[in-house]
Amino acid sequence: MSSPAGETSDKPANGQLNTSLKRDIASVEDYEIRVGPGWTLNDGTYNHIPQGKRRKRDIPIPSYVDQAHQAMFGLTSLQLAHNAPITPCAMDIATEHLWRCLPEEVQNLVEVVPPNGPDLWSADRPAIDDNKDDAAKKLLGKKKDDRDNMFEKIFTGLQERTYKYHSELKKKPWAIWPIWVEDKFGSDWLTIVWYSEETVASSGIYDRLRMYEVYDPRRAMEASDNGRCEAIDLRKRRIMTQFIDVLAFGGINTRSASRCPAMMAPMARGEHTSGERCFAAVKEMLNCILENYIDGRPFNPKEDVLPSLPRWVNPYQARIEMTGINAWVLMSAFDYNGRIVVECLEPEMKANIVVDGARRTIKPYALAGPLNGPQIADADYCTEPLVGEAAKQEPQPKKNPKDQKKGRT
């Protein structure tokens, strides 16, 4: 499938993620489907029409062109390699699907905020302060048909109050927000979870922030005095400060807010699986809200706490689930006039990709990840030693058979 003429690309450049998600689709007439070379395994479910004999009515047109483009790019990016960074398109499609699969009672309790970053979470604080209005406009990268209205300002007389999406955040007590952060510690997906209350009882406007936490899978590269690779408090504190400013900019009362320390499964050295862990964190938090508050029991900030997530996550299983969601959404965007297929490449064809700044070649079963799952974190959510699959695969020095016979070591 190809993009309409004049459309900008969302593909990462120089290892960076383009999070603007710019879409400028005039109509379905601009949509084009190209068929590339390859082999198709036909089981007789449908009659194959040669490319030279296809008519215009034989070409499926998506009912939701913009969503089809998002899911298409998300699916393509997820298929490149098992450890390539998760793109905002793939994260948006996958996390929104998790929310849509919840019971309506839970959907009314929690908002899964569309992913964004890295501008709003930069360590360059003066740059954000100098362009605070622009930073607020970059708050959320929602879909094209909603963007114009979402960032329209609300006025009371001549006084500007807030952006429309801030009012959306005030409609539900719970919110979960995946964010992409780039700083000296690395480029990672983090998850912000918060709970708000009504300032005026029974108003349905949750404009008073009570409790929040930032879930970060990355651990410090250097061990602390106790020999453990612990969470990066410096990064967490910076993100929390900027998060509070973002909500306060939208008229949300943050004066009585408190942080609730919580942890998630750590990401080992040599891994770049924060996106998969972020998706797993969103799923786990939604299930937690489902289990604890679906019966109407209110969250009590004085007694309840935000949960620490499981100490073990298999990022490759999460990536496969995200791939399936993006594929299914893409298929449904065509009114199910499409099928999920396996593309058969020519034998011995090398599929080169770039992951973590290095060129790699996809190997058989690479997309499914290692056969052995990651280790379980210790009780303090650190691992000892904090080593990933990349470090485990370093070649070990070979022992001399003659030394073994002589009993040497």
SS (H, E, C) 322-374: HHHHHHHHHHHHCCCCCCCCCCECCCCCCCEEEECCEEEECCCCHHHCCCCCC
Q: Among the listed ranges 11-20, 64-73, 92-101, 312-321, which one has the minimum average pLDDT value?
A: 11-20
What percent of the chain clears pLDDT 90, i.e. is strictly above it? 30
DSSP state of 218: B
State how far the Cα of 140 lies from the Cα of 138, in Å rounded to an integer: 6
pLDDT of 394 higher than 50: no
pLDDT of residue 52: 76
pLDDT of 13 higher than 70: no
**Residue that wins the pLDDT comparison between 101 and 56:** 101
DSSP state of 225: T
The predicted-structure confidence for 39-52, as pLDDT tens digits, reads as follows: 666 677 777 777 77
pLDDT of 318 higher than 90: yes
State how far the Cα of 5 lies from the Cα of 404, in Å rounded to an integer: 67
pLDDT of residue 405: 47
**Residue that wins the pLDDT comparison between 8 and 388:** 388
State how far the Cα of 329 lies from the Cα of 327, in Å rounded to an integer: 6
| CA nearest to 206, candidates 197, 215, 214 | 197
Say which amino acid occupies 240: M
294: Cα separation from own chain's centroid: 25
Helix, strand and coil percent figures for the chain, each rounded to 5: 35, 15, 50
State how far the Cα of 361 lies from the Cα of 67, in Å rounded to an integer: 30
Task: Kindly indicate the confidence band of residue 93, based on its pLDDT and cuts at 50, 70 and 90.
Answer: very high
**Residue that wins the pLDDT comparison between 157 and 197:** 197
State how far the Cα of 280 lies from the Cα of 95, in Å rounded to an integer: 9
What's the predicted TM-score (pTM) here? 0.77
Average pLDDT value over all residues in the chain: 75
State how far the Cα of 108 lies from the Cα of 232, in Å rounded to an integer: 33
The CA–CA distances, whole Å, from 3 to 92, 147, 324, 325 equal 19, 20, 22, 21
Name 197's bridge partners.
Answer: 208
Task: Kindly indicate the confidence band of residue 59, based on its pLDDT and cuts at 50, 70 and 90.
Answer: confident
Q: Among the listed ranges 276-290, 312-326, 377-391, which one has the minimum average pLDDT value?
A: 377-391
pLDDT of residue 150: 41
Of the segments 124-133, 206-215, 359-368, which one has the largest average pLDDT value?
Answer: 206-215
Task: Kindly indicate the confidence band of residue 23, based on its pLDDT and cuts at 50, 70 and 90.
Answer: very low
pLDDT of residue 286: 95
Say which amino acid occupies 313: V
Packing angle of the helix pair 65-80, 315-333 (nearest 10 deg): 150
Mean pLDDT of 120-136: 61
What are the structural domains, with CATH classification, of the chain? 90-319+354-392 (3.40.395)
Mean pLDDT of 129-134: 51
Task: Kindly indicate the confidence band of residue 324, based on its pLDDT and cuts at 50, 70 and 90.
Answer: very high
**Residue that wins the pLDDT comparison between 190 and 4:** 190
Phi, psi of 253 (to 5 degrees): -75, 115
Instruction: Report H helices in 250-399.
Output: 274-293, 315-333, 389-392
**Residue that wins the pLDDT comparison between 233 and 393:** 233
The predicted-structure confidence for 298-316, as pLDDT tens digits, reads as follows: 888 888 899 999 999 999 8
| CA nearest to 144, candidates 29, 247, 27, 62 | 27
Of the segments 80-84, 228-232, 330-334, which one has the largest average pLDDT value?
Answer: 330-334
Packing angle of the helix pair 88-100, 315-333 (nearest 10 deg): 80
pLDDT of residue 378: 86
Task: Kindly indicate the confidence band of residue 258, based on its pLDDT and cuts at 50, 70 and 90.
Answer: very high
Name 29's bridge partners.
Answer: none
pLDDT of 31 higher than 90: no
pLDDT of 83 higher than 60: yes
What percent of the chain clears pLDDT 70, i.e. is strictly above it? 66
pLDDT of residue 368: 66
Instruction: Find the angle CA(216)-CA(323)-CA(41) to the nearest 5 degrees.
Output: 160
The CA–CA distances, whole Å, from 332 to 72, 283, 325 equal 12, 22, 10
**Residue that wins the pLDDT comparison between 286 and 358:** 286
Peptide bond into 50 cis (omega under 30): no
The predicted-structure confidence for 157-188, as pLDDT tens digits, reads as follows: 444 455 567 778 889 999 999 999 998 898 99
pLDDT of residue 409: 40
**Residue that wins the pLDDT comparison between 365 and 48:** 48
